[in-house]
Structure 1
Amino acid sequence: MPLQETKMTETQETPYQNPLIERYASREMAFHWGPQRRFASWRKVWIALAEAEQELGIAITDAQIEQLKSFENKLNLDAAAKYERELRHDVMAHVHAYGDQCPDARGIIHLGATSCFVTDNADLLLIREALELTAKRLAATIDQMAKFAAEHRDLPCLAFTHFQPAQPTTVGKRACLWIYDLVLDLEAIEHRLETLRARSAKGTTGTQASFLELFSGDHDKVRALEKRIAEKLSFESVYAVTGQTYPRKVDAQLLDALSGIGQSLHKIATDIRLLAGRKEVEEPFEKKQIGSSAMAYKRNPMRSERICALGRFVMSLQSSPAMTAATQWMERTLDDSANRRLVIPQAFLAIDAALVLMQNVADGMVVYPATIAKNLGAELPFMATENILMQAVAAGGDRQDLHEQIRVHSQAAALEVKQNAGDNDLLERLKGDENFAGIDLEAAIDPHAYVGRAPQQVDEFMEAIITPIRQRYSGSDSLSVEVTV
């Protein structure tokens, strides 16, 4: 008997929901990339065009501009969607929808412009504000992590190279390594903000031919139009030359900067995961949080794992704008459009979500000094051997003989640890060797003697690097830090 096909009704089916919106990103960034902000930005660009054209002599009335302004944020998206189904052109659909609301100004909306005039200039507005949100979020994360670093500036811990025990550092100094990566990312984001420009009025292929026609061949007015539109959109300058779009190289540079944040956060979160495995440091774990559905005892570092997942996602997006920039034939091709609609908002959303998580982790990070001291103590006797050797020589011993004795004792102690799972008993072996009589072996393994200038480096880093960032962002509006766990 054939299986009967079951058809689900529309009320039973739910379309795919983007997890970046449903679960991860902040409200600020989620709404920023929503349709309300996007299409209101289109109208902002059209208003700037109409105002500049009027100021330069085009027959546009104050009443027409006021009508456009009165509906800048009162969007009739249903009407635009209906027009788009008929016209198959998103920009013209919104021109008609805007014109329905502003009948007196219908004839001057989009005057002399091409689609990329409105879409590219609006995208640059959205990118600028998203960069500003990202910079604030980065600064807040840096601030929170800096508090953690300062608190643990002089807590000695085992350092690692090749993930093998190395000369000790401090918990605070290690945190400064994390923070400095984010500081460099903040500099990259600020640079992208400083160098972002308007596309302004460039025309269909970047030649400004339509605007030259509009102004009856007056080149000065076309140049003035371009400058005035940029100023009305709060840009200090415009891209010197363009094809139909602003240079897609800009998008590639943007994703480089966002990917850089993802790289830094991935590295930090990985370190926290490794330290959690050593039971030295843990991310926050809520009172009723479940670490595993099967293993009730577990405290999985899920926030850090999610940070890694989101950071890796953004790193994977980096290649798309690079390929888009590389394949823009002549003055432009339209294969950039769908890709950009996906990549740029989602890169910002994912980085925003990862920064929210990292700020949360830094705010509640748990440190276990006793475990840190135990793990360091298991390795410190080996690291102290050079100091012990020098003290024994200073007490009158033969350097070569003493070196051989330490080598023998060290190898035996290492064998005890590796083969028998015993404790590092090197210190006890040296205490029982008359060659090292009179040496204060306990003082020789004081961990503070092996961290160099780590505490002072933390202090200097706070003063030289963190304080200026805190001052730059001291007046910033606070952003939401709600985490969906």
Structure 2
Amino acid sequence: MSDFDKYTTPLSSRYASEEMSSIFSLRNRFTTWRKLWLNLAIAEKELGLNIISDEAIAEMEKNLEISDEEIKAASIQESIVRHDVMAHVHTFGETCPSAAGIIHLGATSCFVTDNADLIFLRDAYDIIIAKIVNVIDRLSEFAETYKDMPVLGWTHFQPAQLTTVGKRATLWIQELLWDLRNFVRARNDIGLRGVKGTTGTQASFLSLFHGDHDKVEALDKRVTELLGFDTVYPVTGQTYSRKIDIDIIGPLSSFAATAHKMATDIRLLANLKEIEEPFEKQQIGSSAMAYKRNPMRCERVCSLARHLGSLYNDAVQTASVQWFERTLDDSAIRRISIPSAFLTADILLSTLLNISSGLVVYPKVIEKRIKMELPFMATENIIMAMVEKGASRQEVHEEIRVLSHQASNVVKNEGGDNDLIERIKNTEFFKPIWNDLDTLLRPETFVGRAPQQTEKFIKNDVAKALEPFKSMINKEEVKLSV
């Protein structure tokens, strides 16, 4: 069969980065298994197992990278023995005959499968941490640029008090900072399953070292060190606890909510023609309606964010039904949900990085919408100004109420512009403040501390959060796949 005749997941074939796809590839999986067998043998030899020769170690070191031919050979072997790990033990042994008798010595299958998974989780988090750092950095530049630009605020998607374009972006950034914090916590909490044996008792290794408990503990510690981990889980069953997967996928699903919210905001703003995601010169928005500029990047984010959010339930349900030291009903779903979670998070971050690098702002549209709504919002300021001129607040309130309803009728029933200010200018009652109206209606006087909040947030909170990751920040152009 041609590759075009088989289903492939669009996560890897269409959207995800090569670096993330590589982590969960068959070659990386089986090569990592070989590294685990090598480091187990090295540690066992260091602790006195003389049956492991220098020649065996050298041969294993020389053949860590599994070839295409070996992957095919192992697949054929698996079809015979119906056991993936033993198929690869056999294949590695054929490639390294000097080591054939000591590969996987004392270990259970989960020594390679679970420890490899934990390595993949750590490495995958390293990729997405770097990407979210850059999303935050570029959005912060955007917020700084537009910190002073007034824009109509929305509550319940109804016109509300003014904010600024930059201040609104800080709401996205703050949630991304929490996601960064959660990613780092999850990444740094990942330990190694280590060398625990069939049911987690280390019985096979205790036998290998003739009852020497200290050497068994030293073996567990040494393998952990050789694989670059600081911690090893002190107790396990046959597998590491699947509750770890909840802690791993949880922050990713939480990030999905952040991504969905931000992308939805931009989609709504695109409809308002205030802000748009990048749109390439030859990009086609619709096959029928040539004028359209559909927000396909943000729509992709929303679509995949829903998928990522749902994967949390896979981890919760799987962890809750693990019996005693292990069952195997976790295996198939984890092969799907864990790579899917990281591939999807990777895609979302790449897409958000592309979006945040090229957001387009339309100041004239923003200004026009403010002018449509600001007169209603300015009524309190007008009332206060009139009172300062000696008028009764209750009388001013009634005059404003009547004129406001008249202006609202023009907007809603006649499709006209908001003419409240013109009505005030033509009403003798308000003559004492006619000359003050332009000052009272300056948009920048309605944004409160939005510019100052934005500037302080970026210089303090964002700068502090990104300080440990400065080496990861780059200004490279991010192009999306189709």
Taking structure 2 as the reference length, what is the TM-score of the superposition?
0.96
State the number of aligned residues: 476
Structure 2 partner of 1:27: 18
1:268 to 262, 267, 271: 262
**1:69 maps onto 2:69 in alignment:** no
For residue 315 of structure 1, give the secondary structure of its aligned residue in structure 2. helix
Q: Note the alpha carbon deviations across 1:306-325, whole angstroms, 9 max, x for none.
A: 01111111111111011000
Structure 1 partner of 2:49: 58
Counterparts of residues 216-295 of structure 1 (less than 5 Å): 216-295=210-289
For residue 233 of structure 2, give the secondary structure of its aligned residue in structure 1. coil
Contact 1:269 1:308 in 2 (8 A): yes
- Taking the aligned partners of 1:320 and 1:12, their CA distance within structure 2 comes to 29
- Tell me by how many angstroms 1:240 deviates: 2.1
Structure 1 partner of 2:469: 473
Structure 1 partner of 2:322: 328
- Taking the aligned partners of 2:139 and 2:278, their CA distance within structure 1 comes to 14
- Tell me by how many angstroms 1:214 deviates: 1.2
Structure 2 partner of 1:6: none
The one-letter code sitting in structure 2 at the alignment partner of 1:448 is E
Contact 2:133 2:473 in 1 (8 A): no
Counterparts of residues 149-164 of structure 1 (less than 5 Å): 149-164=143-158
**1:413 maps onto 2:404 in alignment:** no
RMSD over aligned CA atoms reads: 1.4
Structure 1 unaligned regions, length at least 5:
1-9
Structure 1 partner of 2:357: 363
**1:483 maps onto 2:480 in alignment:** yes
Contact 2:263 2:301 in 1 (8 A): yes
Counterparts of residues 193-232 of structure 1 (less than 5 Å): 193-232=187-226
Contact 1:26 1:482 in 2 (8 A): no
Q: Note the alpha carbon deviations across 1:68-122, whole angstroms, 9 max, x for none.
A: 1111114321221111111110000111111111100111111000000110001
For residue 334 of structure 1, give the secondary structure of its aligned residue in structure 2. coil
Contact 2:252 2:341 in 1 (8 A): yes
- Tell me by how many angstroms 1:38 deviates: 1.1
- Tell me by how many angstroms 1:32 deviates: 1.8
- Tell me by how many angstroms 1:469 deviates: 4.0
Contact 1:46 1:118 in 2 (8 A): yes
Structure 2 partner of 1:3: none
- Taking the aligned partners of 1:198 and 1:12, their CA distance within structure 2 comes to 36
Q: Note the alpha carbon deviations across 1:143-165, whole angstroms, 9 max, x for none.
A: 11111111111110011111111
The one-letter code sitting in structure 1 at the alignment partner of 2:97 is P
- Taking the aligned partners of 1:11 and 1:483, their CA distance within structure 2 comes to 26
Structure 1 partner of 2:418: 424
Distance of aligned partners of 1:480 and 1:389 in 2 relative to their CA distance in 1, 3 Å threshold? closer
Contact 2:115 2:192 in 1 (8 A): yes
- Taking the aligned partners of 2:2 and 2:444, their CA distance within structure 1 comes to 66
- Tell me by how many angstroms 1:473 deviates: 2.1
The one-letter code sitting in structure 2 at the alignment partner of 1:441 is L
Structure 2 unaligned regions, length at least 5:
none
- Taking the aligned partners of 1:254 and 1:301, their CA distance within structure 2 comes to 31
Structure 2 partner of 1:354: 348
1:457 to 440, 453, 459: 453
Percent identity for Structure 1 against Structure 2: 51
Contact 1:157 1:376 in 2 (8 A): yes
Structure 1 partner of 2:441: 445
Contact 2:243 2:319 in 1 (8 A): yes
- Taking the aligned partners of 1:148 and 1:236, their CA distance within structure 2 comes to 38
- Taking the aligned partners of 2:246 and 2:75, their CA distance within structure 1 comes to 31
The one-letter code sitting in structure 1 at the alignment partner of 2:461 is I
2:184 to 184, 190, 206: 190
- Taking the aligned partners of 1:250 and 1:121, their CA distance within structure 2 comes to 13
- Taking the aligned partners of 1:126 and 1:234, their CA distance within structure 2 comes to 13
- Taking the aligned partners of 1:238 and 1:74, their CA distance within structure 2 comes to 27
- Taking the aligned partners of 2:244 and 2:60, their CA distance within structure 1 comes to 31
- Taking the aligned partners of 2:19 and 2:461, their CA distance within structure 1 comes to 28
For residue 5 of structure 2, give the secondary structure of its aligned residue in structure 1. coil
For residue 100 of structure 2, give the secondary structure of its aligned residue in structure 1. helix
Taking structure 1 as the reference length, what is the TM-score of the superposition?
0.96
- Taking the aligned partners of 1:61 and 1:29, their CA distance within structure 2 comes to 36
**1:390 maps onto 2:384 in alignment:** yes
Distance of aligned partners of 1:15 and 1:345 in 2 relative to their CA distance in 1, 3 Å threshold? same
Contact 1:117 1:203 in 2 (8 A): yes
For residue 166 of structure 1, give the secondary structure of its aligned residue in structure 2. strand
